[in-house]
Structure 1
């Protein structure tokens, strides 16, 4: 079993989801976790330090049993600019401001920033499980003069992430909380790393699309959508 498969199985077994994981040349393993939806709704409490510590302890135990070599393990939240890796993420953050980068330029640009909405003809109130199976989406953006709508398919996207919404009066709108836990395999360090990431998904008002819109054409590509687990 690969180390990615071990991480996925262990984290999901504890009731969390893996947003991403990476391994540096120096042996550092970084795992980003989140809590799944509960009955189609966001969990009451975001991932905190205790959650990261729990996952860290279990991962260290399992990787020792599986004889996976590493020097340090760091488990944290995905951050305010949480990546969108699959259709389930798109369905979860419907109505939020996102930034997408296309694999190929459309009308001279690859990056688009706007509000994520369901594709034309799809009700936003559609069952989340059904929405999570869709591959076509739309982002409403402004060109400085008027609102436009860009329709795109998931296989046209190189990367996508939430746009952080900062509330300087205190807590970030929606889910907010920073947590990180890291331990060294060599020194068996049980202390927490001093810095951490935050995850947030502040709701954004969904604007109405004007009649003027752009439609990204379907393209054949051998690449896979970035942002998932390292293979």
Structure 2
């Protein structure tokens, strides 16, 4: 049974990433001209800040330097986070995207755009936004029904504390007192 370079790199680097309090989401080795680029994507339930990414990048670089995992040829290491329109491929990704709008491509065909409300072991409870004055509707999706899912970028996304678009409870209280 042969393993790919990405699988060997994952085995080598995943414990190191985990020791930094992060999850190793993706590894890709790409050729860019004569050079190779090792792209590593990390994340956590609370997100990964710039300092954490820099720390894990230094740790991965040191580990790769002490092994021959990338061979003798020159390569560039890029460490980052999944980004704004991240794909949702693991249950933990759905949990991290709670409150976010996502596009779900269904296994049976068709798409659903809905806000993720809650996640459990079997699937996702969502709310499909209402259009043209209609109320939002609740919709349950099991993981088996979902072929692909991706977080959507929202401009003017409601904050967690907002109620019916009127601002947070604190803002409403301040308005009442004024």
**Distance verdict in 2 for CA 1:53–1:101, change over 3 Å:** same
Please identify which structure carries the higher helix content: 2
Q: How far does residue 4 in structure 1 lie from its aligned partner after superposition?
A: 1.8
Query: Which runs of structure 1 show a deviation greater than 6 angstroms over 4 or more consecutive aligned residues?
Result: 204-207
Q: 2:145 aligns with which of 156, 176, 188?
A: 156
Equivalence for 1:76: 80
When normalised by structure 2's length, the TM-score is 0.67
- Counterpart residue number, 1:118: 118
**Distance of 1:81 and 1:12 partners within structure 2:** 23
Gaps of 5+ in 2: 1-6, 165-178
Counterparts of 2:82 and 2:43, CA distance in 1: 7
Equivalent pair of 1:95/1:115 in contact (CA under 8 Å): yes
Match of 2:53 in 1: 52
Structure 1: state its 5+ residue gaps. 37-41, 120-130, 174-201, 208-231
Distance 1:137 1:12, change over 3 A: same
Q: Deviations over 1:67-91 (max 9, x none)?
A: 1126111011221223323222222
Work out the CA distance in 1 between the residues paired with 2:128 and 2:148: 17
Q: TM-score, normalised by structure 1?
A: 0.53
> Which SS does the other structure have where 1:15 is aligned?
coil
Aligned CA-pair RMSD: 3.1
User: Do the aligned residues in 2 keep the contact of 1:80 with 1:162 (CA within 8 Å)?
Assistant: yes
Aligned match of 1:96: 100
Aligned residue for 1:229? none
1:80-107, Cα deviation, whole Å (9 max, x unpaired): 22332322222233222122222330xx
Larger relative contact order (CA 8 Å, sep ≥ 6): 1
| Contact persistence 1:115–1:206 (CA under 8 A) | no
